[in-house]
A = this chain, B = another copy of it.
Amino acid sequence: MSKPNAFYAQSGGVTAVINASACGVIETARRHRGLIGRVYAGRNGIIGALTEDMIDTNRESARAIAALRHTPGGAFGSARYKLKGLEENRAEYERLVEVFRAHNIGYFFYNGGGDSADTCYKVSQLSKKMGFPVQAIHVPKTVDNDLPITDTCPGFGSVAKYVAVSTREAALDVESMAKTSTKVFVLEVMGRHAGWIAAAAGLAGQSRREAPHVILFPEVPFNEQAFLARVKQSVEDYEYCVVVVSEGAAHPDGRFLADAGTTDAFGHKQLGGAAQVIAQMVKDKLGFKYHYAIADYLQRSARHIASATDVEQAYAVGRAAVEMALAGENSVMATIVRKSDKPYRWAIGSAPLGRVANREKMMPRKFISKDGFGITASCRRYLEPLIRGEDYPPYRNGLPVYVTLKNVPVAKKLAQQFVL
């Protein structure tokens, strides 16, 4: 049998640097042509494997693959699609084995967050449970920074930098105008259950007088009275107030401040509108003029202001995944291990997927200030290195030059189609 091919796919919400991980995987595989055949990318994540809809990355030039390092979004398409358990949907696993066998796939690299780690874990069990030898390695990625074991998740550092920079900039704007215009500015950021992104906004200021003056975390039940008192105090003391609210901020009974009532494929509630709720509350109860911004996808696609540390780590976990596979490993995730805060030093490690899948890492309570509205010195020590360094993409005519791959499909070998 010829040397095995590799399958790589992107899963879940994409980031500014998930393609940097793809770049790490593909470039490293290309450096080991004697051991790895071709790298096939799943179109739209695991769906590409199930439907035998794969992209032959060998058809892309070295230059195009290198450009993935500075291109946001998911170059091969991503998807939110969770494999059921083997017992619940055996057909899916049989199909995966069938596709992998037809295309001689021996390595499975899955680039995603917690839900995706679960999919990767299930694939890693195929050799044991279905007798098909495939090594599955997870490449961590999530702006939510909520994967366990790894010190941080590629994708987070860049959104953290975006949010900290934007908060600092918008605060200067609001402060300038406060005398006769907006007194309270609310910025809504992502973070369904964990307040990591909201916390990153805290880096924008060094002292109590600097913005953000209030951060609303999902981890801290919303206390309307204390919140309004803090906003009022801030406007009295500094003439303005900047509030950063996580989309996942919730009332003491668990209800989200804003609940759009719809759910995604993983069954998570789709959120949006917390900023508006907060801003309106400030207007109604305190009478202050407000503005609010909702960064939404802008924050997680902002490759133009990516963290150099994040880009480097995203690439490194991609490269490490291939090296782990070649070292014979299976069912593991490449991780970032922090060696020291100052100077910041880190290394690549690994974690068993069984201990990663379906676990969310919340912000430790010691990272949130006693009053619940800010971050502590230890949180700052943790976050600071992650946003360090700028890694600007190339520009042409004032716009960043992002690559669009050819994405040439791999010829299908199976007669049967698979219906999702």
Contact = CB atoms under 8 A, between A and B. Distances in A.
Interface of A: 10, 13-14, 16, 44, 47, 71-75, 77-81, 161, 164-166, 168-181, 185, 187, 203-204, 262, 264-265, 270, 272-273, 275-276, 289, 291-298, 300-305, 307, 309, 384, 386-390, 392, 395, 397-400, 402
Contacts of A296: 170, 291-294
A79 B177 contact: yes
Given A168-B400, A169-B72, A298-B170, A47 B180 contact: yes
Question: In this complex, which of A273, A297, A300, A305 has the most chain B Cβ atoms within 10 angstroms of its Cβ?
Answer: A297
B297 A294 contact: no
Given A164-B399, A384-B397, A398-B161, A181 B272 contact: no
A275 B298 CA distance: 14
Contacts of A301: 166, 169-170, 172-173
Given A73-B173, A265-B180, A165 B304 contact: yes
A173 B81 contact: no
Nearest to A48: B179
Contacts of A390: 392, 395
Given A168-B402, A172-B301, 7 more contacts: A47-B180, A71-B172, A73-B176, A77-B176, A78-B177, A165-B400, A173-B297
A76 to B, nearest CB: 8
A100 to B, nearest CB: 21
B180 A44 contact: yes
Contact of A298 (B77, B289, B295, B397): B295
A262 B305 CA distance: 34
Interface centre among A81, A169, A395 (most CB of B within 10 A): A169
A-B CB proximity, top 5 nearest = A73-B172, A74-B176, A387-B398, A293-B296, A169-B301
A386 B398 CA distance: 8
A293 B14 CA distance: 16
A77 B179 contact: yes
A247 to B, nearest CB: 11
A47 B177 CA distance: 12
B384 A388 contact: no
Contacts of A75: 176
A190 to B, nearest CB: 11
A305 B175 CA distance: 20
Most buried by B among A78, A273, A307, A392: A78
